[in-house]
Homo-oligomer: A and B are copies of this chain.
Amino acid sequence: MRKLARKNIFKTKPYMPGKPIEEVKRELGLKNVIKLASNENALPPSGKAVIAAGRAMFTANRYPDGGCFYLKKGLAKRFRVKPTNIIVGNGSDEIIVLALRAFLKSREEVIISKPTFLIYEVASQIAGAKIKFSPLKNFRYDIPKIASLITKKTKLIFIANPDNPTGTYVTGKEVDFLMRRIPKKTIVFFDEAYYEFAKGVKDYPNTMKYLGNKNVIITRSFSKAYSLAGLRVGYGFADSGTVDALNRVREPFNVNSPAQAGALAALKDKKHVEKTLKLVEDGKAYLYGELDSAGIKYIPSVTNFVLVRLGKNAKKIYKKLLKMGVIVREMSPWKLNSFIRVTIGTKIENHKFIRALKSII
């Protein structure tokens, strides 16, 4: 007789369907609201992606390609891997869920840092995993601590690199240190959703060198640098056996037709990504300068967002910003109560945020 996890779904936070921004505007009586809360790209998608996804609609009476043939072909070419090394997900979030569903067995454990991307914990709870938490150290993943938590029961280790919500990263040396300590049956899940923003940093790791290895999954996303959060397309690289196992537990048509077409077109528009990186670099430089001159502390970030320390009034400031039409992320879900997280926006948005913040403080 098979045994199932006790369902932990009512231990997780109740689901809160956030209202669309249009509804928030209506309720607050605001006309101009800027959203710097979800680490979205401030630029609209590449025109090529808009056209490709729109065109896919004319044949949307047909099911999507369940194998993501052309998108995988494009990704394989770009990253010099085989299509059989690629899994495509309804956002890279889905690949987290698939990894747990495919590999986690009874009594096995996962290692999750804290605070980090929240989905690891939620998905692991739903999957019935035993979770070992590794606290951050100076707002960075503590790799020796993670290594020390590994047991025979460790099935998955989640590494957000760069990390969300801190914006910090694990270095190449740290990754090598960790990989030397990984048992055969443990999988390291490198979540590189913000890869494009970090890859230029000197000691940001090349995790792809571990791809031949059976125990790594490396995920990336079209939601950030490619401006396609609304399409939900993430992809993962792994050994072909691992990809096969992930495919067995995914729903056959998990990525819809406009998403596949839009992502493939976006992949080919390198200029859009370059423009994004420039916008984020300039925006961060501006933000750092303004925060420095105002004496406000923040965690230096290799991503498109910054964790800003506002002290015990953080939540009040968050609410005041909201009333002024500036939505940032309030950090109580991560228990970082003296912080807010702000996404780099357009030049105008960044100025508006700084003006609003200064007027409050």
Contact = CB atoms under 8 A, between A and B. Distances in A.
**Cβ-closest 5 pairs across A and B:** A17-B67, A60-B230, A230-B257, A54-B54, A61-B227
A45 B67 contact: no
B60 A229 contact: yes
Nearest to A247: B15
Contacts of A42: 61
A161 interface: no
Interface of A: 1-10, 12, 14-15, 17-21, 23, 35, 38, 40-45, 49-50, 53-54, 56-70, 90-91, 93-94, 97, 101-108, 119, 126-130, 223, 227-232, 244-245, 247-254, 256-259, 262
Contacts of A1: 107, 130
Contacts of A38: 62-63
A31 to B, nearest CB: 17
Given A57-B45, A230-B59, A258-B53, A106 B64 contact: no
Contacts of A90: 90, 251, 254, 256
Copies per assembly = 2
A179 to B, nearest CB: 25
Contacts of A229: 60-64
Contacts of A12: 248
Given A50-B60, A104-B4, A251-B93, A256 B244 contact: no
Given A107-B3, A253-B232, A257-B230, A50 B58 contact: yes
